[in-house]
């Protein structure tokens, strides 16, 4: 991926970053874990559920909004299954970024993904300012909070991505904890 960034100045701006986060009514926050958001009632998202979401929601929105993108996903088990990788190969013939994909994503690099280093923390800080009553209120708060992300926040996030990618290049992809 570093070579593509160096060879194509606009490469990084074509990436659609994808990730997941868990939200609980109790306010429990898992910090490890914007088209959407998509909500799953299932406790575990399997490769079949993930593929269904891609085919029925994500792919159609990508085609309508920004057909010329490079899709990026992390190495979670549902993302790495053969059926998901086959669908990504078919839908993104120019390539996609991720574990087992035509464009590799640096392993152990969640601090490079803007959803991990910015969005999930921002959303959870706002969603959990006061206790959540029920699942409907939780979904509403998540949706409402995502819509508050403004152009200035996005500009700072892009600067953060570039900074983090520079660190990855300088360390040959080694994991570095950033604060």
pLDDT tens string 98-124: 888 888 776 666 677 888 888 888 999
pLDDT at position 29 is 42
> In terms of DSSP bridges, do strands 15-17 and 96-97 run parallel, antiparallel, or are they unpaired?
unpaired
Residue 32 DSSP class: -
Q: Which of 20, 28, 39, 41 is nearest to 119 (CA)?
A: 20
SS3 (DSSP) at 69: coil
The topology under which CATH files domain 2-170 is Nucleotidyltransferase; domain 5 (3.30.420)
Residue 13 DSSP class: G
Question: Which residues are 23's β-sheet partners?
Answer: 29
- Mean pLDDT over 52-59 rounds to 88
- Mean pLDDT over 26-53 rounds to 64
pLDDT at position 90 is 93
Cα 33 from chain centroid (whole Å): 10
How do the residues of the chain divide into helix, strand and coil, expressed in percent and rounded to 5?
Answer: 50, 5, 40
Q: Which of 71, 65, 61 is nearest to 37 (CA)?
A: 61
Name the token pair of 51: 């593929």
Domain extent listing, the chain:
2-170
Question: Which residues are 103's β-sheet partners?
Answer: 97
């Amino acid at each position: 991926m570093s070579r593509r960034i160096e060879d194509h100045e606009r490469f990084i701006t074509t990436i659609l970053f994808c990730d997941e986060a868990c939200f609980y009514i109790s306010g429990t926050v898992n910090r490890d874990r914007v088209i959407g958001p998509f909500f799953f009632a299932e406790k575990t998202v399997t490769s079949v559920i993930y593929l269904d979401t891609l085919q029925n929601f994500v792919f159609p929105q990508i085609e309508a909004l920004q057909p010329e993108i490079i899709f990026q996903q992390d190495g979670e088990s549902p993302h790495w299954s053969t059926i998901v990788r086959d669908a990504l190969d078919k839908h993104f013939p120019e390539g996609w970024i991720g574990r087992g994909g035509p464009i590799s994503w640096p392993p152990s690099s969640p601090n490079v993904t803007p959803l991990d280093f910015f969005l999930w923390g921002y959303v959870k800080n706002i969603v959990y300012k006061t206790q959540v009553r029920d699942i409907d209120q939780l979904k509403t708060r998540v949706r409402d909070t995502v819509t508050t992300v403004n152009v200035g926040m996005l500009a700072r996030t892009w600067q953060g991505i570039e900074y983090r990618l520079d660190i990855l290049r300088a360390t040959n992809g080694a994991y570095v904890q950033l604060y």
